[in-house]
Structure formats: C-alpha cells, structure tokens
Amino acid sequence: MSDTVSLLRRLSPQLIALGVILFLIWLVFPAFFTVTFQNGRAYGSLIDVLNRGAPVALLAIGMTVVIATKGIDLSVGAVMAICGAVAASASVSGQPIAVTLALAIGIGVLCGLWNGILVAFLNIQPIIATLILMVAGRGIAQLITEGAILTFDDPALAFVGSGALFGLPFPVVTWIVVALLVTIVLRWSALGMLIEAVGINRRASMLAGINAPVLLIAVYVLSGACASIAGIAIAADIRGADANNAGLWLELDAILAVVVGGTSLLGGRFSIVGSLLGAMIIQAINTGILLSGFPPQFNLIIKAAIVVVILIIQSPEAKTLLTFLKLPRWASLGASKGAEQ
Amino acid sequence: MDDNGILLAKDIVKVFPGSRALDGVNFSLRRGEVHALLGENGAGKSTLIKCLTGAYRRDGGSVILDGETIDPKNPLGAQALGIGTVYQEVNLLPNLSVAENLYLGRQPRRFGLIQAGRMKRDARDLLGKYGLDIDVSASLESYSVAVQQVVAIARAVDLSGKVLILDEPTASLDAREVEMLFDVVRNLKAQGLGIIFITHFIEQVYALSDRITVLRNGRLVATRDAETLPRKELVTLMLGHELQEISKSTRPKAEQFSQPRYRFKNYGKPGVIKPFDLAIRAGEVVGVAGLLGSGRTETAELLFGIRTPDSGSKALIDGSEVALTSPRTAIVRRFGFCPEDRKVDGIIGDLSIRENIVIALQARRGWWKPVSRSEQNAIADKYIKALDIRTTDREKPIRLLSGGNQQKAILARWLATNPEFLILDEPTRGIDVGAHGEIIRLIETLCAQGMSLLVISSELDELVTYSTRVLVLRDRQHVAELTDDEITTAHIVNAIAAREVKQVA
C-alpha cells in the first residue's frame, strides 16, 4: 500500500506534465479525446499518440535499464535499422513469420551482446562503445538492403506494424506487453535491485559478490532486443526497410524519455513506468503541435521548450525551492525579495 | 628560531566543521635540512602542508619564512614566496614535453612568440644539474615516474628555491629509483634548501632525514633528531601508545585449536605483497598489524580474491584446493570482507539500509531466487536491532547514516550471509567510542561462535584484546607472527620497527 503511494509520489511530476500537455492540446483541438470504434479497432488522436509513441516507448524500456547501470546505449536507432532490414529481407526470401521474427530479434540480441562485451569486459566507456555500433550499424543495414528500400508483401509481418489486437493497434499492445514482462522479471526477481546496485557503486557491488559483468551484458542485450522489436514494428508499418531513415535519431528521443521519466543519467534507481510516461509525453507534444496547426518549422523549438520546463520542474533545485516556498514564512521571504528588487 | 631557520610555523590551528584538524602545531625547518613529517592517516600531515602552501587558510597561528610573516592565499602565492611542493601523483601535464612542463606559464619569449630552441636548451641545462640527460622534447609520460618526479622537483625548485615539500614522492618507485631520487634530494640539501619529506616508509626516513616531526590527531607529538631517535620509539610516537602491557588472560591459547581450516601457501603477488604462508583455524581471530602501506589491505584483498595471487600460490580450504579468483568465488566459500574505505568499497549509497544488508546474501543466492520482501525486512530488522544500527527506519538510504552506523550495516551485510571466514579491514576506523566497543564485543562473540576472523587494525590495544595471533607486516611482507604471551603492544611495536634483517636463503 505504502509502495503504491510512494510510486505515485515518485511519478507525480510526469503525470502532472502529461496531464497539462493533454489539457493544452484539448484546448486547441477539442476532438483530441474522442475515440471511435470501427471494425473492432479504436481510432482517435489519443490512440494515435499511443501508437506513434510505440518505437520510442520500446527503446525507452531497454534504455532505462542500461542507464540504471550508469551506461547509455547510442546504438538503438541503428539496431532498429539493422533488424528492420533483416526482417524485410527474411520475409522477401520467403521465410515464415516465426522465422523472420526470430531472426530479427536474434540479430538485435547479438548487437546487444556486442555492446555489452565492449562495456563489461573491455571496460570501454558506454558512450564510446555504443557509438561504434551507432555508426557501423546503419552501414550494416544498408548492406543488407543493398542501398534501396527493401519492400515486402507478407500480410503476417505487416500485421505487426499495422494490425490490431484487443481493439488496439498491435504496436501499442507490443510495448505494453514488453513493458509488463520486463517490469515483472526485474521486480519479482532480484535483478532490479542488483542492477541498481551496480549502477550506484560498481566496485562495492562486485565486492558484495554481484556478477557485474554478466549483469551489464544482460542489460545491453535487453536494450538490443527492445530495439529489434521497435525496428520490426517500424518496418512492418511501412511494409519496407529503409536503412537510411528507420530509427534515425530515435536513440536521442529514447534517452530523453528516460530522463523526462525521472531516471538519473548517473545510474541507480530506475523506473520503467516513468520512462514510458516520458515517451508518451514526447509523443503527445509531437502530435499536439501537429494538431494545433502551428507552422511545422516551430515544432522542434516548442518541443525543446516544453522538455526544458519539465526538467526544471523535476530538478532538485526546483524541489528545494518548492519546499522552501511551502514554509509558513514564505510571505516574509517574498517581502524581503521585493525589498531587494 | 635559530639562525639557520628558514621556515617557522607557530601554533597553527585549522578547524573543520566538527573537528580540529590542527591544534596548535609548531614546526621549524632549517636551511640545508631534510625534515621528515610523520604520522598515521588523519594525523594532520596533509593539513599542515596545505596550511603552509596556502591551499587551506589557517584559522590561527603564524608562518614565518626567512624572517618575514607570510600568508599565502593559494599554492601559487606560496610558490612565488619560495615554497614549492611535489606531490605523490605528479601534478604536471603528462602529454606535454618535458621542456614545456618545466617552463609552462613562463616560456622564454621573443616578440610574444615562444622560443622553442632556447626553452629546450634551458631545460637540458636545468636537468643536467640533477644528473638527468634526457630528450626534453619527448612527452613527459614517456618517462618513468621517477624521472617525472625529478622533473617536478626541478620545476618546483626553479620556481621557488627556498623550501621544497615532498609529499610521499617514493610511494610508487622501486628501490633503484628511490636511490636516484634521494641523490637529487641530498644534492638540493647541500645547496641549502629546506626540505620537508613526507613518507610512510620508516627505512627511508632514516636514510634521508636530519630531523623528524611526528603528528598525531592534529597535535604535535615530538620533533627529534633522527640520529638520536630509535626506531622503536618513533613507531611508539606515531601509534600513540604508552606501551602499557595490556594482554587478556581469557584469550584462548593458539594450540588449543584443531587443524587449520584455511591454509594459504606461498600466497603472494609480485609488486603487491611478498609470498606468505598463513593458516587460520575455526574460532580464531588473526590480527594484522603494520603501518600504512605495509601491505595489510593488500593481504586482505588477496585472500578475498579481489586481486588474484601469483600462479604459484595456493589456497586450501578444509583440505581441498580452491582457486580464489574473484570475490564471488570467495563468497561461495563463505568468506566475507568489510573493506577499509567503506564509502568507496562498502556502501551502495542510494540503496536503502535494508537493501544494503541483504545484497550480499542476494548476490550469493542468484538473481532468480529473490529474498522475499518480508524476509528482507526480517533480516534487516534483526541486524538493525542486534548491532544497534541507529536509524529511523530501514528504508532510509544508507548514505544518510553516520560512519559508525554504515560500518555496522556493512558488517550486517556479511553476517546475513552466515560467513565462516570474515575479513575486517580497520573495522573501527572513524567510529565513535560507543560503536567502537560494540564492534569489538561483536568480534569476540563471532569468534566464540566458531567463525574465523582476520582483523586488520591500527589500534594495537584492540588487536591485543581479541587476537589469538598477530601477524606483523612491514614493507609489503609478513615479517613476524606473534602468539600467546608474545601478543603485547610492546612486542608488536618492536616487530614493526625492527630493522630489516637480510634473510639467508
């Protein structure tokens, strides 16, 4: 019971931010919350936010756990491109859907393994280690698609990107299921605590007997797997693998989602729910700007401004200020401030 | 101040929040003298040096250099006045050339351009005076630490020229390099510089110093001529022991134990600690004594698998041979280790007290077998109560606890794993008196329950109280093992101070 309360308190800045943003969108676009059902599937702007935000949400799940270990994974965008290309080319060469998915996810796992080994055994700084695959990965994807956009026509694979399950777009179902699975595994086993320990103090954790190298590899593998699922979803959505543009810059959105979600880049305590809220905040901003009819050239600036405000609200300094202002003597403080001015 | 004096510090006081780091310390330095400054960690050596060089502003007292009262605002100011400092970690720029390092910030210039040729010539001449003939255009990092030290000294002397402070310059040098450095220092001494020499190596103190000043707990203990101060007395001054004969009659005798449970044969690692043999029985407390840097912590790290021993070394546990290659393998064998630096190696700051206590147990069980929350709560509550860890609740982040309570929580972490062999490195350092006594009582209880313990401590009284045997370390080797009636503070001090006897193979 107290755990639920503390979780809500922990997530309150994200929930409030999301609420305010949704409210603002509703002001300029009253039809925002309207959801209609057609052919057993929900349609509407809100559903659109959940659906369009799926790739970043999936990436953010893996990224959260990587960042909890004081690491970072810059390669996820490139891994999306690789895995999308693998899925497309497997489908074109006539593989059944199960083999296609297994191949693509397997390649994502391999990419994560590579990152993990560089970080855990060769002790390369995560930002450099994953930068290698970020650069090389897009090249590998281009080799697989031979430079062109590799299109396929397998309805089963297309369903992964644009189908519907339980009335929701399939990508939405995917990220919710992956998030639930990862959360359950991390929190019902001891993995979550061990990962946080490694992120806070790797040396002390090793002295306490934690197998830090294996844990580090595991989190990068998870990140690679999440990226591969996101890559498949994107390729499936457009029925083709675009090695140049699939997942481009999404690693930055994923990192942003984690940070907006309140997990510190310094490692330690993490919250997957927070990161998912962060991903939805980012997507709500994107969709909101489009719907509100602002000239599109303003989009990036407005997005940046909103993110800055959210981060300021979350910052320890702002929290100190807030508790300070809540003190009963805030009136006299205000008076003295006025005198200074 | 005698005529030959160059630097005089009177009644220096430095106060930090909650402690008096220097309490009325007097210090004097003569021209052409090497003056060793000694004391254990926290004695106030560094604080005194920092007050002299202006890195800290002193809170009281005066510093007189060459007859004039000085008050340097920072180390640069002190340097301009004539006080140069060389630190253990060479504070030069490794990727610049030797010449650039020597003349950084004061390069010879013409029309605003640096005269590289002249700078190199000057650098060669300067280093020539130190008997160093090296390529000055090569980067500093391409030379050994000893050469880097000499370059640092050359720069400091060239810049200041009155007083040279050497802060543990020999910590990472081998014997030949130490000799080379000493020649340089003797040379400077002959030129009339006053030199302050800080080290932990007693042999080197006697090899180089004219006078010795000992600090302890921020106070001046004594300033003596090196020639008339016996080693034994020096160690006594440093450890602050009045040589009372404390020994406990209830302590179990060594021979009443059965066969050793743990045997470490020819255990060692080149450059870390010389090979040693060690056997530990069940229910035995083996104390480890020695000055800082003598290889105490290294011994513990080797036994716990943090450093892997040399290939010839073997560990026998209950008669079977075991390779302790990592803390994990040691923990599987029911070892536990409370490290000396609990902030860096011990606590996991942002995790709660509960999580910090159960983490070693959890790590040994494996991630797929989580200790349930109710079990965690029970374990945490049990040890919070048993060890009297003062906290409002078990969910508080451990970094918010006081040092003594953090130490108890780390102890609890290992006790929760039900260990059979526990290594404690300075378990009572930085702990208030109350907690101190509790931890000693705990050590005795654990030993009575049949656990084997290896306890490293600078507090000789403590070692005498609970040890069944005491190992004495000096200069990275095990030099003595005291048993039964031999365990007195006097014997330990003797063993630490004993002059090295060449062993005939």
Q: Does A269 touch chain B (CB under 8 A)?
A: yes
**Chain B nearest-CA residue for A268:** B350
Q: Find chain A residues with C-beta within 8 A of B297's C-beta.
A: none
Q: Does B367 touch chain A (CB under 8 A)?
A: yes
Among candidate residues B159, B220, B315, the one with its CA nearest the CA of residue B10: B220
Separation of alpha carbons B431 and A211, rounded Å: 31
Q: Does the structure's ipTM exceed the value 0.95?
A: no
Q: Find chain B residues with C-beta within 8 A of A188's C-beta.
A: 370
The pLDDT tens digits of the residues spanning B94-125 come to 888 888 888 888 888 788 888 888 888 888 88
Task: Enter the pTM of the model.
Answer: 0.72
Say yes or no for a CB contact (<8 Å) between B365 and A208: no
Helix (H, G, I), strand (E, B) or coil at B156: helix
Query: Could you tell me the pLDDT band of residue B274, with boundaries at 50, 70 and 90?
Result: confident
pLDDT of residue A333: 43
Say yes or no for a CB contact (<8 Å) between A201 and B367: no
Q: Does B275 touch chain A (CB under 8 A)?
A: no
pLDDT of residue A225: 96
For residue B36, the cross-strand partners are: B197, B212
Q: Are B9 and B63 in contact (CB under 8 A)?
A: yes
Domain boundaries, chain A: 43-314
Query: Could you tell me the pLDDT band of residue B414, with boundaries at 50, 70 and 90?
Result: very high
Query: Could you tell me the pLDDT band of residue B256, with boundaries at 50, 70 and 90?
Result: low
For the ranges A3-17, A205-219, B244-258, B412-426, which has the lowest average pLDDT? B244-258
pLDDT of residue B357: 94
Q: Are A250 and A55 in contact (CB under 8 A)?
A: yes
**Cα angle vertex B99, ends B96, B105, to 5°?**
75
B479 contact partners, CB below 8 Å, separation of at least 6: B472, B473, B495, B498
Separation of alpha carbons A80 and A245, rounded Å: 10
Exposed, middle or buried by CB within 10 Å (0-12, 13-18, 19+), for A15? middle
**Cα angle vertex A129, ends A123, A130, to 5°?**
140
* % of chain A surpassing 70 pLDDT: 94
User: What backbone phi and psi angles, to 5 degrees, belong to B150?
Assistant: -65, -40
Query: Could you tell me the pLDDT band of residue B41, with boundaries at 50, 70 and 90?
Result: low
> Which CATH architecture best describes the domain A43-314?
Orthogonal Bundle (1.10)
Contacts for B476-482: CB closer than 8 Å, 24+ residues apart: B476/B272, B476/B273, B476/B274, B476/B294, B476/B295, B476/B298, B477/B273, B477/B274, B477/B276, B477/B295, B478/B274, B478/B276, B478/B278, B478/B295, B478/B299
Give the number of other Cβ atoms within 10 Å of residue A290's Cβ. 16
The per-residue DSSP string of B320-377 comes to EEE---SHHHHHHTTEEEE-S-IIIII--TTSBHHHHHHHHHHHHH-TTSPPPHHHHH
Residue whose structure tokens are 């330990």: B492
Exposed, middle or buried by CB within 10 Å (0-12, 13-18, 19+), for B426? buried
Is the pLDDT assigned to residue A264 strictly greater than 70? yes
302-361 of B, contacting A, C-beta below 8 A? 304, 306, 326-328, 331, 337, 339, 344-351, 355, 359-360
- Mean pLDDT along residues B297-310: 89
Average pLDDT over chain A, rounded to whole?
Answer: 87
Say yes or no for a CB contact (<8 Å) between B351 and A200: yes
Greatest mean pLDDT among A146-150, A270-274, B404-408? A270-274
Residue B70's alpha-carbon distances to A143, A328, B5, B51, B160, in angstroms, are: 71, 49, 15, 11, 14
pLDDT of residue B499: 61
Is the pLDDT assigned to residue A7 strictly greater than 70? yes
Separation of alpha carbons B48 and B64, rounded Å: 14
Q: Are B14 and B59 in contact (CB under 8 A)?
A: yes
Tokens matching residue A316: 């320890």
Separation of alpha carbons B119 and B112, rounded Å: 14
Tokens matching residue B307: 């450093």
Q: Find chain B residues with C-beta within 8 A of A200's C-beta.
A: 348-351
385-414 of B, contacting A, C-beta below 8 A? 413
Is the pLDDT assigned to residue B245 strictly greater than 60? no
- Mean pLDDT along residues B247-255: 49
Name which residue leads in pLDDT, B315 or A232: A232
The pLDDT tens digits of the residues spanning B441-476 come to 888 888 888 889 999 988 787 888 888 889 998 888
Separation of alpha carbons A200 and A268, rounded Å: 5
Is the pLDDT assigned to residue A14 strictly greater than 50? yes
Exposed, middle or buried by CB within 10 Å (0-12, 13-18, 19+), for B436? middle
Give A306's DSSP letter. H
Average pLDDT over chain B, rounded to whole?
Answer: 83
The pLDDT tens digits of the residues spanning A294-333 come to 787 877 888 788 778 877 877 777 777 777 776 554 444 4
CA distance B101 to chain A (A): 29
Say if strands B194-198 and B273-280 run parallel, antiparallel, or are unpaired.
Answer: unpaired
Say if strands B5-16 and B109-110 run parallel, antiparallel, or are unpaired.
Answer: unpaired
The pLDDT tens digits of the residues spanning B172-220 come to 676 777 888 888 889 888 888 899 998 877 778 888 899 999 988 788 8
The pLDDT tens digits of the residues spanning A60-70 come to 999 999 999 99
pLDDT of residue B501: 47
Separation of alpha carbons B280 and B452, rounded Å: 7
Helix (H, G, I), strand (E, B) or coil at B69: strand
The per-residue DSSP string of B265-330 comes to EEEEETTTEEEEEEEE-TT-EEEEE--TTSSHHHHHHHHTTSSPPPTT-EEEETTEEE---SHHHH
Is the pLDDT assigned to residue A72 strictly greater than 80? yes
Residue whose structure tokens are 């709560």: B377
The pLDDT tens digits of the residues spanning A88-129 come to 999 888 888 899 999 999 999 999 999 999 999 999 999 999
The pLDDT tens digits of the residues spanning A21-46 come to 899 888 888 888 888 888 878 888 88
Is the pLDDT assigned to residue B224 strictly greater than 80? yes
* % of chain A surpassing 90 pLDDT: 49
Name which residue leads in pLDDT, B258 or B308: B308
Is the pLDDT assigned to residue B308 strictly greater than 80? yes
pLDDT of residue B505: 34
Residue A285's alpha-carbon distances to A24, A236, A305, B450, in angstroms, are: 10, 25, 11, 65
Alpha helices in chain A (DSSP H): 2-28, 45-52, 54-68, 76-92, 97-120, 126-145, 155-162, 170-188, 191-200, 202-207, 212-238, 250-260, 272-292, 299-314, 316-326, 330-340
Polymer length of chain B: 505
pLDDT of residue B4: 76
Query: Could you tell me the pLDDT band of residue B3, with boundaries at 50, 70 and 90?
Result: low
Q: Find chain A residues with C-beta within 8 A of B369's C-beta.
A: 190
Q: Which amino acid is at B375?
A: E
Q: Are A255 and A63 in contact (CB under 8 A)?
A: yes
Query: Can you list the domains of chain B with their CATH numbers?
Result: 5-95+139-239 (3.40.50.300), 244-334+420-505 (3.40.50.300), 346-418 (no CATH)
